[in-house]
Amino acid sequence: MQSLLILGRQPALGLAELESLYGADRLQPYTAGAVLVDVPTSDINFTRLGGSTRLCKVLTKVPNDWTGIRNYLLKNMPEHATALPESKITIGLSLFGVKVHIKELERGLLELKKVIKQTGRPVRIVPNKELELNSAQVLHNKLAETGNWELVVISDGNTTYLAQTTFIQNIESYAARDQARPMRDARVGMLPPKLAQTIVNLATCSLTPPSISQPDGEGILAGPVLDPFCGTGVILQEASLMGYDSYGSDLEPRMVEYSIGNLHWLRQKWSHIDTNVRIELGDATSHKWQQPIGVVAGETYLGAPLTTLPKPENLRKIIENTNAIHQKFLVNIGDQLKSGTRLCLAVPAWSVVKGAFLRLPVLDHLKELGYNEVKFVHASKHDLIYHRENQFVARELVVIVKE
């Protein structure tokens, strides 16, 4: 395995995303929050991954205990440091699954700094607040850039790997294209750009945009990414940043206006975007979309917003009404999709007790409506739920294919 990815807060989403892009046979889930991937780090487009927080190049196996790890670093790292460009080296160390007191880690880092300085190389060590450096520390200290290191030691209790971070999730970039968007409306929900990326990736899989040449035209998406509930345009935004043409529609004129404004803003901020985008007014339960449609990716109607858990009878009515809309939508769009068209939809799921969710009843009848549900090898469909504590309405990612 050539690469290691540290997964996000809900690892199943990251596993399904990686499986869609690179195939199940190239993945080896390693710990609860990490996966080994048999793909070179240089071939992984990390900036499009919403479900992973770090991309690391696997270097070697090391001893499982801290003493052995420390001795390995002290013996081998000075030689590697002398091969770096002649400037001050900044080094950080993150431990995942390794049992050691933070004071022991601090002493080991000071020893590592001393032996590297003995080679004549100036070095700075990033101090650890915890055993793992956070994303802000890695970004601020430029540890993923050439000439610096974030060394990652990760263990599942049986095997321990040493890896080097090559990319870190850029929290500043996500904030820039989320909070800075000119058209926002908290009443319609705030789809995080990271989750939007995952939705697009689960829909498009390994299909590339038409702008990227492929031999004989193989593996190219045949049409735009369609979001039938485009809202403020987050899915359209992330699809555009990935290089895909996008196509959005929404029932509300205000949302169409918001999407148009946000996509215009995006092109001003990210001038390299040269994809096509179409946005129009349309009720997803009856609208006729222009052909061709490449894939369908979007967050559907999540039902009435809830600040408290309703009484059972009221919740039942909310679910019934929301389910009816989804059934009409699936019938309507199904008549317009070619066989084999893939869809990833973020649909509502209601949290009634901790760890348990009520699903849309229509999801038990997808086969009758002409869809096959995608089964993942490394992630259960019941775990593909994006949910924050104290939220009553979660988002369940449903991946289906038109028969």
Q: Report the C-alpha dihedral over residues 295, 29, 33, 380, rounded to 10 degrees.
A: 50
Spatial separation of the C-alpha atoms in residues 298 and 338, rounded to whole Å: 18
pLDDT class for 215, splitting at 50, 70, 90? low
Paired residues of 297 in beta bridges: 344
| CA distance to 22, 229, 290, per residue, from 204 (Å) | 12, 17, 19
pLDDT digits (tens, 9 = 90+) for 35-50: 999 999 999 999 999 9
pLDDT tens-digit map of 302-328? 998 888 888 999 999 999 999 999 999
pLDDT digits (tens, 9 = 90+) for 201-213: 999 998 888 766 5
Alpha-helical runs (H) found in 10-83? 11-22, 66-81
CB 27, CB 37: distance < 8 Å: yes
Architecture of domain 3-169: 2-Layer Sandwich (3.30)
**pLDDT for position 389:** 82
Q: 386 in helix, strand or coil?
A: strand
**Mean pLDDT of all residues in 156-175:** 93
> Residue 339: its pLDDT value, please?
97
Average pLDDT over residues 195-204: 98
Q: What is the pLDDT of residue 250?
A: 97
pLDDT tens for 85-113 read 777 899 999 999 999 999 999 999 999 99
177-402 topology per CATH: Rossmann fold (3.40.50)
pLDDT value of position 187: 67
Q: For residue range 231-275, what is the model confidence (pLDDT) as tens digits? A: 999 999 999 999 999 999 999 999 999 999 999 999 998 878 889
Q: What's the angle, vertex CA 206, arms to CA 2 and CA 270, rounded to 5?
A: 95
Give the tens place of pLDDT for each residue, 117-137. Answer: 998 888 999 999 999 999 999
Alpha carbons within 13 A on the beta-carbon side of 50: 25
Burial class, 57, CB count within 10 angstroms (exposed 0-12 / middle 13-18 / buried 19+):
middle
- What pLDDT sits at residue 213? 53
Strands 160-168 and 149-155: antiparallel
- Bridge partners (DSSP) of residue 196 are none
Question: Which residue(s) pair with 37 in the sheet?
Answer: 3, 27
Band (pLDDT 50/70/90 cuts) for residue 183 is confident
Tokens 């068209």 correspond to: 341
Q: Are 284 and 226 in contact (CB under 8 A)?
A: no
Calpha distance 283→293 (Å, rounded): 17
Distance between CA atoms of 399 and 384, rounded to whole angstroms? 10
- Token pair in block for residue 285: 């339960």
Residue ranges of domains in the chain: 3-169, 177-402
Residue range 360-375: mean pLDDT, rounded: 97
Classify residue 355 as exposed, middle or buried by CB count within 10 Å of its CB (0-12, 13-18, 19+): exposed
Nearest to 20 by CA among 378, 386, 383: 378
pLDDT value of position 271:
74
pLDDT at position 189: 62
pLDDT of residue 38: 97
Tell me the average pLDDT of the chain.
Answer: 92
Query: At residue 200, does pLDDT exceed 70?
Result: yes
How far is CA 82 from each of CA 71, 87, 151, 157, 357, rounded to the nearest angstrom?
Answer: 18, 10, 16, 32, 55
Largest CA distance in the chain: 73
Cα separations (Å) of 272 from 155, 261, 275? 40, 18, 9
